[in-house]
Amino acid sequence: MNPTLDNKSEVLRNSNIVLGVFSILAVIIIAQVINIGVVKGEHYRELGKRQSVKAIAIEADRGKIIADNGELLATSMPFYDVYFDPTASRQYVNEMKEKDPRFMKKVGDIFAKNIDSLSYCISKYLIPNLTPIEVKQWLVRKRNQNERFLCLAKGISHIKMKQVKEFPLFRLGRNKSGIIFERKFKRIRPYGDLALRTVGYNRDNAPSIGLEAAYDDELKGEEGNRMVQFISKTKYVPINDLTEIEPENGNDVMTTINVQIQDIAQEALQQALEYHNAAYGTAIVMEVKTGAVKAMANLKKDGDQYHEAYNYAVGLSVEPGSTFKLASVMAILEDHKMSLEKEIDVNYGKAVICGREMKDAEAHSHKTLTLRQSFELSSNVGIAKAVVDAFGNSREDIFRFVDLIRQFHLGEITGVDIPGEAKPLIKTPYNLKQLWSRTSLPWMAHGYETRLTPLQMLTFYNAVANNGKMMQPRLVSGIWSHGVQIKSFPPRVLKESIASSTTIHQARRLLEGVVTNGTAKKYRNEMYSFAGKTGTASMDYGGVKRGRYRASFIGYFPADNPVYSICVMITEPKEHGYHGAEVALPVFRSIADKILSFDPKFFRTYTPGDDVTAFSNQLPSGEIGVGGDYLSIFNRLDIPVYLKGKTTDYVVTDRRESDVNLIPIASNENQVPDVKGMGLRDAVYALEATGLKVNIEGYGRVSYQDIAPGTKVAGQTVLIKLQ
């Protein structure tokens, strides 16, 4: 029998066991503390530092988009957010006191010495809604609370940033004062909305557009890298670090856009849209020999205003209407199917073709027209019948017609250097998916059942003006870096010849005939020649008639040696007509007139040895304007001129054999002046100078005023019509 343990011995044994367990745990804990704090302490301290110190990207300065003469279309301007770490000066002072015990006696507390003057500057220039005392109290309180990221201002300019750098305390630098500048860039367009959809946007939360999108890789540059210490989840302060990588600024894009031509095109387009109360429109100006786009204006009605909301020139594929007739007639000529003098029965502008009724834009008195006249007068019936007679006799002939249209490059995109170009549609014969029918051939002949963008149509007309050589439209001529061109984009030929030289020659004569004998005859002038084709496309020809039309004119000037080609398209004009000749053609003329007035390509060189009489037929006669303006112009051209009154007088020009007399127009301050024949600027000035108010219709020169000259002035409103 084993002896039993008494209770005291059992308690002692259990106590020793518990003590041993706790002793072991204590040793383990102490060993781990020593291991973490001493043996591996440096490792964990560095790990903690790495968790609060991170690298962030530094935004690069985006490159500029530049007009053809170096003017800025888009550039990035630096703006700055200003932050302040009020504890930085305390840290600096403490560090300096450890290094130099006499630091406080020699320098003192830099925060205390500068806080009053600093508060005054912040109040005056950065936070004007707080008084200097309130700013001081706020800074001191935040400093005592160890706040390290106070926002003083957002989005200040570079000039103001330099001013803030010179504030008391801040002028000591970032490490001593705690001033922090965060640089950001904002895209600026010095010319506002000029060519807005062509220049485009660079957007973070939506697709970029225009040249900003097309050349983003060149413009954006390379981001830099900076080490910062995060003091909260969203706040950080930069730290000095030798590994900081500076950003590499983006390259500059040199465009073919000419600011003056763009402004002319946009203004002429807007005036027409407003006058005709149209939905939207586009105007494009292209250099014939190179394909360089000098202007691309796109405007859409938004409420009572017109804005650049979409690039209709590039992105809108529509039925072109009668401007397509040039391609139809060229197909006939290229295949020698018919002479231009072949007579066609147009039946007074109404006929049934392939089982469907077709009408000309307006009824007329012609029973027959030649093919040439059908084109010049834009007869739908005449052109459609000519195409059906030439190509409608067999399946092979129909395919041949479509092949010829595609030979003119009308079935392909131009490849212009901005995104979003719409694909053209030239139907494939008998393709049921494309809704080919027996009426497709005659309706294609006069511009329906096809879809093309304004730029694609202009590229075709430009090729005709360029003797058959088709140039690719281009908006960019080169890439520049720090004033040095690093890439060049020379003119590119899409097709050496879209048709035979005979066909091109006949096509050019046809386009000239439209101006001399046809639908554009009203706008021909003696100062320069131009050629082109009007177009009026019904937007409702296949359905409910709602009276919607698209007016267009595509042409080039001068006709004999083309320099520029222009396309104008205006959609849904609601007032003052809807035909291409009365809506779009005046815009072409306005653009061409103004380009001729300033572009050096059209200036004639005059030397003292030249005979002035050789130019006498070009001197103005019967023109009205301010005497001083005429005097200045004629003197610069070295043309003898004689003014018979004051330079401020309104005068009428009297052309002689080799000189010009400027004859004052008698006027009375209390009577309505005669402004017929004046330009808009002179007319408005003359009328408003007498106390009249002016309403304006149309564009060009004054052709009508509703208050007769000589009427007593009594604050009336006078309506002037320009033509």
Which pair of tokens denotes residue 687? 């009328």
pLDDT digits (tens, 9 = 90+) for 486-533: 999 999 999 999 999 999 999 999 999 999 999 999 999 888 999 999
Structure confidence at residue 608 (pLDDT): 45
* β pairing state of 693-698 and 179-188: unpaired
What is the side-by-side order of every strand in the sheet holding 702-705?
Answer: 693-698, 717-722, 702-705
pLDDT mean across residues, the chain: 85
Highest mean pLDDT among 39-43, 77-81, 98-102, 257-261: 257-261
| Whole-angstrom distance, CA of residue 520 vs CA of residue 376 | 9
Per domain, the residue ranges of the chain are 16-54, 59-255, 260-598, 609-664, 667-723
Q: How confident is the model at residue 652 (pLDDT cuts 50, 70, 90)?
A: confident
Give me the mean pLDDT over the 356-364 stretch: 88
Q: How confident is the model at residue 187 (pLDDT cuts 50, 70, 90)?
A: confident
CATH of domain 667-723: 3.30.10.20
Structure confidence at residue 717 (pLDDT): 86
45 against 343, higher pLDDT: 343
Q: Helix 158-165 and helix 110-125: axis angle, to 10°?
A: 150
Give me the mean pLDDT over the 64-85 stretch: 89
**CATH label, 260-598, candidates 3.30.1130.10, 1.20.1430.10, 3.40.710.10, 2.40.50.140:** 3.40.710.10
Structure confidence at residue 416 (pLDDT): 95
Structure confidence at residue 1 (pLDDT): 47
Structure confidence at residue 13 (pLDDT): 72
Structure confidence at residue 104 (pLDDT): 83
pLDDT digits (tens, 9 = 90+) for 594-631: 998 877 777 654 444 444 444 455 566 667 777 777 67
| Whole-angstrom distance, CA of residue 389 vs CA of residue 337 | 9
Structure confidence at residue 605 (pLDDT): 45
Give me the mean pLDDT over the 416-440 stretch: 93
CA 467-471-473 angle, to 5 degrees, is 140
Structure confidence at residue 535 (pLDDT): 95
Which pair of tokens denotes residue 46? 């560095």
CATH of domain 59-255: 3.90.1310.10
Q: How confident is the model at residue 699 (pLDDT cuts 50, 70, 90)?
A: low
pLDDT > 50? residue 421: yes
Q: How confident is the model at residue 672 (pLDDT cuts 50, 70, 90)?
A: confident
Which pair of tokens denotes residue 175? 């490490």
Q: How confident is the model at residue 276 (pLDDT cuts 50, 70, 90)?
A: very high
Phi, psi values for residue 142, rounded to 5°: -65, -35
Give me the mean pLDDT over the 681-708 stretch: 79
Asked if 477 and 215 count as a contact pair (C-beta separation under 8 A), the reply is: no
Measure Cα distances from 345 to 342, 382, 472, 523, 688 in Å: 10, 7, 39, 28, 56
pLDDT > 80? residue 334: yes
DSSP code at position 636: H
Q: How confident is the model at residue 711 (pLDDT cuts 50, 70, 90)?
A: confident
pLDDT digits (tens, 9 = 90+) for 544-566: 567 899 999 999 999 999 999 99
pLDDT digits (tens, 9 = 90+) for 307-331: 998 999 999 999 999 999 999 999 9
Asked if 429 and 449 count as a contact pair (C-beta separation under 8 A), the reply is: no
Largest CA distance in the chain: 158
Highest mean pLDDT among 228-242, 610-624, 671-685: 671-685
Give me the mean pLDDT over the 99-113 stretch: 84
Highest mean pLDDT among 83-87, 146-150, 270-274, 682-686: 270-274
| Whole-angstrom distance, CA of residue 466 vs CA of residue 565 | 10
Structure confidence at residue 355 (pLDDT): 87
Give me the mean pLDDT over the 457-479 stretch: 96
295 against 4, higher pLDDT: 295
Percentage of the chain exceeding pLDDT 90: 51
Q: How confident is the model at residue 17 (pLDDT cuts 50, 70, 90)?
A: confident
pLDDT > 80? residue 243: no
**558 prior amide bond cis, ω within 30:** yes
Structure confidence at residue 612 (pLDDT): 45
Lowest mean pLDDT among 298-302, 333-337, 568-572, 638-642: 638-642
